[in-house]
Amino acid sequence: MKLMDDKGRLFGKVHFFDILIALLVVVGILAIALRFAPKQEQEAKTFSAEYTIEMQNLGDHFLDAFEVGDSLYEGGELLGTVKAVETRPATMPYVGAEGKRIDAKYNHVHHITLTVETDRMSKDGGYYIGKQEFLNGTGHNISNGFALCRGIVREIHIK
């Protein structure tokens, strides 16, 4: 018995190109299924960290907005707990009449630096808390449920 007859059928029963097309369809369906199948998320290992976040040029009404013990959030994601609050008046450098540099203080404008503790930091190509990436210089909209401010990460210390 021949493998393929004169009409292109395997063993005289099934056409060779029909098998090839059926095989391509099955491979295509498997490829699509694998592409869109839900991925198993690896459970990220979290660790403790401490970071500082600086908020600049805030009005007087923000001086009492953040307190030690406040929980901070961004987009509903818990970022950590405030460990320390530091405030200082905002200044603007300018050159005085004698050519000396002078740092002039703004009235009613302040910089606030928060030191925040978290046990939710993870590392996956960068430092993350939830889906928020934390790098020196990254900006975050932080809230304690009372005030919402834009802050910039200044330091990260892994414990």
- Residue 119, domain CATH: 2.40.30.110
Look at residues 77, 149, 76, 73 and name the one whose alpha carbon lies nearest to residue 113: 149
Query: In the structure encoding, which two tokens stand for residue 157, read together?
Result: 């210390």
Number of domains in the chain: 2
Query: Residue 10: is it exposed, middle or buried by C-beta count within 10 angstroms (0-12/13-18/19+)?
Result: middle
3-class SS shares of the chain: helix, strand, coil, % to 5: 15, 55, 30
- Same domain, yes or no: 65 and 98: yes
- Report yes or no: 62 and 147 within 8 Å, Cβ to Cβ: yes
pLDDT the model gives residue 8: 67
Structural domain containing residue 5: 1-40
- Same domain, yes or no: 64 and 35: no
- Same domain, yes or no: 66 and 127: yes
- Same domain, yes or no: 70 and 112: yes
- In tens, the pLDDT along 55-96 reads 998 988 898 899 999 999 998 889 999 999 999 988 888 888
